[in-house]
Structure 1
Amino acid sequence: MSTPPEDPRPDDAYPDPARSAQESQVRYVLNELGDVLEPGPPGWRETGIEYFVRRGYLMVDETFYDEGRRVLTPGRLTGPDDEPPEGGPRDGQRIDGRRWIRLHGDADTFRAMADINDAAGDEVARLEYAVHIASGCCPADEPTPVAPGAAPDPPVSADRTAGAGIRVVVLDTGFDPAAATLSWMRDVQGDPDPGLGAAVLPRYAGHGTFIAGVVRAMAPRAEVIVRQAFGPLGVVMESDLVAALERTLRYDQPDVINLSGGTNVESVRGPSLLNAFYERVFRRYPGVALIAAAGNDNSRRHFWPAAASWATGVGALAPDWRSRAPFSNHGSWVDVYAPGQHLINAFPSGPYVYQEPPRTGTQVQFAGMASWSGTSFAAPVVAGLVAARMSRTGENGPAAVAALLAEARAAAVTGVGAVLVP
């Protein structure tokens, strides 16, 4: 694996623990995937890393593909016989009306994109983004053990029929089947979480299990399926996420999809492959609601797909349920805020070693439950409430979302916005 770019700032340059934790998570991604991901924006060494893109690849409109290759010659393109990296597309391969251009290993991906777009006078060359669970680079914190037998928080709905007949698909890290022994988790199904079975729980193990538990607490009778869309590092390429979304729509036939992941992007138009997915596929499923986490960067910058008009973007409330959690992204593009700080729900059993300051290196033992924070976990509160309303009213997903958002706006909190609580 090639050596990832180094952040020139010293470790002690971030006295704020939250920023230190984010920096730790960014370096984690670079250390593991630095050979396939390139950090952005182009001036990230001065401004900080905001997102990751597929290293050495551009998607260029079919109409400008040949001209784009001429713009980049000589020396910045791979040869016709060069094999792509494992999992990488081939040079010239088509994708959603574009074709891949694969760059030479030493070429600057961002500079190559700018040169093609300058020549075309339009955004004909685009990037593929890495989508990360919970945020551009991180969940809000690492999980914390709770006492054995602790109850979920928010608690399980008093209406034990809520969600009956509604199917919620969670696209995440997979599911721990041991969690199905918990009373509110019975019959939850899903793909195995690849982080389970290790001597020490990996960084993002249990993320999908926790989210499934939050959905079930809001909608105890909903059919919940957890699909493993994100790898054990909590990262998936945009094209692979689109493929996972298409499989879920075709084979799982969901009423509600929970996606606790996303990315910032360079273009104001949003991520091109996710936008194309909506135009090509998702708009043909008008009864399905997509609930997406707004991200944990304490930023107003748009976070996708939560910021898309075809998704419901969910920010996080603090434990008082009246103020915004300090980590939550915010802005007019966030549709609603729901509880997302210090939630308690299902989590795998086993040892875990903290990787972020201030607890770096400390080992703890989990026993089936955890406390965790992030917009990752605010999103399934909303997904569960949508499922509960659908089963009660007979509305489809978007209609139930619209009704709940109207209630949330009526209960808006000054300085926060629309608020939806159980």
Structure 2
Amino acid sequence: MMEYRSLKVALLGAGSVGAQVARLLLEHGDELARRAGTRLELVGIAVRDASAPRTADLPAELVTTDAQSLILKADIVIELIGGIEPARTLILDAIASGADIVTANKALIATHGPELADAAEQVGAQLSYEAAVGGAIPIIRPLRDSLAGDRVQKILGIVNGTTNFILDKMDREGAGFDEALAVATELGFAEADPTADVDGYDAAQKAAILASLAFHTQVPVDRVHREGIRSITKESIQAARNAGYVIKLLAICERLTDPDTGNEGVSARVYPALIARDHPLASVHGGNNAVFVEAEAAGDLMFYGAGAGGVETASAVLGDVVSAARRHVAGGPGVAESTHANVTVLDVGRITTRYQISLDVVDEPGTLAQVATVFSEFGVSVETVQQSIVHSVPQQTDELPVTSVSLVIGTHSALEADLAATVHALETNDAVNRVSSILRVEGA
């Protein structure tokens, strides 16, 4: 058998993931060559600062600040810079030069994925991004390839390790949000600015990618409904526990019927939700990720593992690199994206879900009936009611203690728009002191 020429690999970025990718390429070169059918030659590592410390010792002669020149001599370009620019421009230039692309850049794929896929398809190049969602978990290739002949109905994903660590610590140890966030930051799960994680931006980007693949249609990230976890309190966690639930930040992608037109549509959304404690996702602890897929023919599937980490994510990156190398050896164009269904992306108000609403109400006869009337007005059926008495402690000696009632109300399934209208009416009702918490119930 004729030996195929060595493939030149350019690496853009040498952070926690990039440094591990470089190390593994260099240390496991012989083994990777046997798997790929050709030797993978790392020809350079482009960085912003060549003198910056790395998590792995890299040969100085491979490190460069000239990314543009590096990509022009590569067969495979690995982009691990992150962000939109200069990553987008460098990838487009690499594709134009005929290189295959491997990236872990969720923000770029969620925002410019179709543009990059079209550019790759035009020249027969391969665009791979397994590491963009779920770190080491293989989920992109199963959705794109293994389930391409099936109809995915719904995806429930814990796709952000930081928020899962925080919520898990609150649930299992009784920590408050600020305390759990501080520990997550100290351990390196959370960045100094945790906004992207705790406000749901990171998960929303991943939801856009998963929905686009699962439903073979373009789902822009700005059409993903997003809510974060800052509003989750110890009281929220305890109320969930009392009702048999655990709170998880979920990325949800769902195929559904538009209640207005009767046509098929899709929904992508991110919010903290209640999951029954016997659901597989409830047992996902710490910084781990998991994606639960409901498919028409295949049934229920779950993908679980490390959602972040340098060497873990490097595993997914190198899987894409070997796949790209095999394509070079076998010949033929790269696998094109299947995102041409053009199914309508529906607003969150069109979904059907269930609410758990926590209310502080006045302690007077007829209050419960008054609250029930509000639900009835909007066609929302109440499934469960938990009631407890709350006694306030006077702040001044001349103040009298005030007694109020805490109600935790679980609803039956209803249209999100009707549930939201119910909550709005409760907020202005004389019998309600305040709406203290609203959480959706998923996975039932």
The TM-score with structure 2 as length reference comes to 0.25
The higher radius of gyration belongs to 2
Larger strand share, 1 or 2: 2
The TM-score with structure 1 as length reference comes to 0.26
Larger helix share, 1 or 2: 2
